[in-house]
Amino acid sequence: MDLVLLVSAAVAFTLITALWIVFRRIGSAGRTLPVTAEWIDELSMERYRPMLRLLDGEDLQFLRSQPGFTLRMAARLRAQRCQIFRGYLRCLSSDFGCICTAIKLMMLQSRRDRPDLAAVLVRNQVVFATSMLVVYGRLYLYRFGLCGVDVSSLVRTFDSMRVELRQLVPATMAVGA
């Protein structure tokens, strides 16, 4: 019974620590934010489209069909893909943090309160952080060939916040003109 309690406490501590790290990364992303329509358009989903198929099984299936295939080759390919994928995740997290920070700054500078936007912001930050934890967990398992990784919900959350920011920018520019 004590062993179960100890393992449960360790798992809970690990999850809380991971959530804290993810929220900290999201909250501390980039400080200089050139909030223009061009900057927002550069943050398009096209930037992350390769990420959507980077870990699909087609390349591994092709590799398995080749003469001379070894399990070591598959493990090396998975390890390389995981490393590249982590780079995409870092960029995605950083861009998401910049978008959230830009929205927060625009809300602070706005002349009217936007509790609806604040609720959307908080909800999407929680969804993004939770999805990021799930993706990192599945990525760890993928490394050993145990499961696949789906980042479509993570990218959708990113894109919905990008669209939200994009809708705010023209209104802000019109006020300043």
DSSP the chain: -HHHHHHHHHHHHHHHHHHHHHHHHHHT--S----SHHHHHHT-GGGGHHHHHHT-SHHHHHHHTSTT--HHHHHHHHHHHHHHHHHHHHHHHHHHHHHHHHHHHHHHH-SS--HHHHHHHHHHHHHHHHHHHHHHHHHHHHHTTS-----HHHHHHHHHHHHHHHHHHHHHHHHH-
Specify the pLDDT at position 98: 87
**How many domains does one find in the chain?**
1
Please check whether residue 151 lies inside any domain of the structure. Answer: yes
Please check whether residue 113 lies inside any domain of the structure. Answer: yes
Q: Which residue range is the domain that position 167 belongs to? A: 45-176
170 has a pLDDT exceeding 70: no
Please check whether residue 21 lies inside any domain of the structure. Answer: no
pLDDT tens, residue by residue, 18-77: 777 766 665 554 445 566 667 776 777 788 888 888 888 788 888 888 888 888 888 898
Q: What is the mean pLDDT of the chain?
A: 82
92, 48 Cβ separation under 8 angstroms: yes
Please check whether residue 117 lies inside any domain of the structure. Answer: yes
pLDDT band of residue 84 (cuts 50, 70, 90) is very high
Specify the pLDDT at position 30: 45
Tell whether the torsion through CA atoms of 27, 31, 37 and 41 is positive or negative: negative
